[in-house]
Amino acid sequence: MDNFKFYVPTDIRFGKDRLADELPEALNVYGKNVLLVYGGGSIKKNGLYNQVIDLLGKNQNIVVELSGVEPNPRIETVRRGVSLCREHQVDVILAVGGGSTIDCAKVVAAGFYSEEDPWAIILGRKGYQGEALPIVTILTLAATGSEMNAGAVISNLATNQKLGVGGPSMIPKVSFLDPANTFTVPTYQTAAGSADILSHLFESYFNVTPGTDVQDFVSEGLMRAVIKNCPIALKSPDNYDARANLMWASSLALNGLTRNGKHGVWSCHAMEHELSAFYDITHGIGLAILTPRWMEYVLSEQTVTKFAQFAHNVWGIKEEEPIIAAKKGIQATYDFFKTCGIPMTLPEVGIDDERFAEMAKQAVAHSTIKADAYVPLAEADVEAIYRECLTESNFV
């Protein structure tokens, strides 16, 4: 196990019916001028927007809105948010939405204190050490874990770039996690969010650092919680406990719990970010498509033990022979995504092989997967994995 720091000071308020009593108090610590950040308007349909506006009104907040944050939030929207914060002397940012909204809020929060253009912060990558406006979130989608970590991913369609950034000041101060706020998430987004959670777990689980049983076994537990509860939520969208388990799993899957103490970089996220950057597809869907193909591609004598452990402990596969167990685990992963209604080939989401070479080049250029991934991936490897996603797969 590597040395690590674990410091996650987000105050999580999990459960139903907490906003009326707790939201005003959470905001008042920082001031009365609020930037309300949200996405495409789903919170207007389900009543959450009205509830929040009503509470903020009674609390004498002065509210400025940054709405229309995109599913892959764009740098232009961040710039708009920074201008609003400066113009209206915003004290605190309230992000109501999923990971995209929260990610956008984080970079707005940092951008407020930066003299450079916000894209410069992104290009600085994981090392933002400056100040940021305080952020409070109300989560409406179980997926990215952004509600309990310091990271953000922003897209720049002008340059076909989708890049991550992070820094200690960007972690939300308080996050409200009410599973009932995810009852209206459509099945496709519920499945995509679950795939995103699983991918966060997979990416750190398949890792070369020895002696990380705590991280690995906790990760297996979180995977099983998602695998059990996602189908329940798909069938019964207002099943509170299923939504609760997905929501809490989303936060724990990416707050450091399963990743700290390990080194190396993620593979599928690097490859998926290019799909989203070039084609603006749903992040979790891209991950679900890539992951089983990546698993098969990196399965070898060196990795088979971990893949067999994955098959046994996560999927309950009884097969003893490691290589067969491993393949069955990969098949189970693929079948799970398919059963959740996720289109499992790239053509189904509008991507053909035309830009594979270009995206593979970018995936390697924008990350260190060539040197630091679980199994190092060069451009040819990435392109081969993309190519495997052109048609349905069978792994056993």
Positions that interact with its own copies (CB under 8 A): 1-18, 179, 210-214, 216-222, 224-225, 228-229, 240-242, 244-245, 248-249, 252, 257, 260-261
Helix (H, G, I), strand (E, B) or coil at 263: coil
Nearer to its own copies, 10 or 77 (CB): 10
**Pure H helices in 112-186:** 118-123
Nearest distance from C-beta of residue 5 to its own copies, angstroms = 6
Q: How far is the CB of 106 from its own copies (least distance, A)?
A: 19
Give the CA diameter of the chain. 65
Q: Which is nearer to its own copies, 155 or 190 (CB)?
A: 190
Closer to its own copies by Cβ: residue 14 or 188: 14
Question: Nearest approach, Cβ of 227 to its own copies (angstroms)?
Answer: 10
Residue 370 CB-density burial (10 A; 0-12 exposed, 13-18 middle, 19+ buried):
middle
- Cβ closer to its own copies: 4 or 41? 4
Whose Cβ is closer to its own copies: residue 250's or residue 267's? 250
And the tokens for 249?
A: 């799993």
Residue given tokens 């599913």 in the structure block: 71
What kind and span of H or E run contains 221?
Answer: helix 213-235
Place of tokens 């897209």: 155
Query: How far apart are alpha carbons 294 and 290 in whole angstroms?
Result: 6
CB-wise, 142 or 369, nearer to its own copies? 142
Query: Using CA atoms, how far apart are residues 255 and 147, in angstroms rounded to an integer?
Result: 9
Beta carbon of residue 51, minimum distance to its own copies (angstroms, whole number): 17
Residue/partner pairs of 369-374 with CB below 8 Å, 24 or more apart: 369/265, 369/266, 369/267, 369/270, 369/271, 372/263, 372/264, 372/265, 373/264, 373/265, 373/266, 373/267, 373/270, 374/206, 374/207, 374/208, 374/264, 374/267, 374/298, 374/303
Q: Closest CB to its own copies among 276 and 333?
A: 333
Q: Which is nearer to its own copies, 4 or 348 (CB)?
A: 4
**Residue 239 or 345 having the CB closest to its own copies:** 239
In angstroms, what CA-CA distances link 233 with 16, 192, 223? 17, 12, 15
Q: State in angstroms the smallest separation of the CB of 15 from its own copies.
A: 3
Question: Smallest distance, Å, CB 354 to its own copies?
Answer: 41
Q: Which is nearer to its own copies, 194 or 219 (CB)?
A: 219
Contact 37, 96 (CB under 8 A): yes
Q: Which is nearer to its own copies, 12 or 349 (CB)?
A: 12
Q: Residue 16 CB, nearest distance to its own copies (Å)?
A: 7
Burial 234-250, CB ≥16 within 10 A → b, else e: beebebbebbbbbbbbb
CB of 331 to its own copies, least distance (A): 22
Neighbour-count burial for 311-324, b at 16+ CB within 10 Å, e otherwise: bbbbbebebeebee
C-alpha span between 105 and 287 (Å, rounded): 24
1 C-beta neighbours (distance < 10 Å), count: 13
d(CA 84, CA 310): 47
